[in-house]
Amino acid sequence: MRQLAIANRHSRLRLDRRGLAAAVATLDAHPEKFRGGCPAGELSLVFLTDPALAKLHGDFLADPSETDVITFEGDPALGAAGEICISADTAATYSRKHRRDFAAELILYVIHGWLHLAGYDDLRPAKKQVMRRAEARAVKLLQAAGVRPAFRLVK
């Protein structure tokens, strides 16, 4: 089983660490469905506010705009699969605007980052469609396994 480091840097976010671990373990158990899956090693999940993720976006990708997910590849030789940085604020805004469940949107961001580490890319339209299909497979996989991490924002 993969080592998972979860950091909640969003003061209003309440998350389900066991559910997150179960979701990642479920994805990891099916690498054949996702180009071999996320590389071996510790995976870090960091939940942030919009301003904090926008700062990372600016510092590392020269684009200070808000975004939903940033994925940093790790070094498997050093035991690191990578780090997935996720904006809980963007998930909340998107879920309200599109009348989606907040927890479902946030786990989709975790899936999205995991898929980036598995080699998926969404910068060009054709590749974006391939990634969207992989996201849909991952969501169905988690649903079939009964894995649904609980997330909520408190006031």
> Which domains are delineated in the chain?
4-148 (3.40.390.30)
Per-residue pLDDT tens for 15-25? Answer: 999 999 999 99
**What is the pLDDT, as a whole number, of residue 124?**
95
- Structure tokens of 82? 């990578």
Q: Which two tokens stand for residue 132?
A: 């969207």
Mean predicted lDDT score pLDDT of the chain: 97
Q: What's the pLDDT score for residue 50? A: 97
**Predicted local confidence at residue 112, as pLDDT:** 98
The pLDDT of residue 22:
98
pLDDT at 57: 96
**For 29-76, how does the pLDDT look when each residue is reduced to its tens digit (9 = 90+)?**
999 999 999 999 999 999 999 999 999 999 999 999 999 999 999 998
- pLDDT value of position 138: 98
Q: Token pair 């963007």 is at which residue?
A: 90
Q: Is the full-model pTM beyond 0.95?
A: yes
Q: Within 10 A of 53 (CB to CB), how many other CB atoms are there?
A: 26
What radius of gyration do the chain's Cα atoms show? Answer: 15
Share of the chain above pLDDT 90, in %: 97
Structure tokens, 64: 């200070």
DSSP letters of 5-48? EEEE--TTEEE-HHHHHHHHHHHHT-GGGTTT-SPSSEEEEEEE
Residue 139: per-residue pLDDT? 98
At residue 1, the pLDDT reads: 77
Which DSSP symbol is given to 63?
Answer: -
Average pLDDT value for residue range 93-109: 97
Q: What is the mean pLDDT of residues 112-134?
A: 97
Asked if pLDDT for residue 26 goes beyond 80, the answer is yes
Tokens of 45: 């999940």
* Ranges assigned E (strand) in 26-148: 42-48, 69-73, 80-87
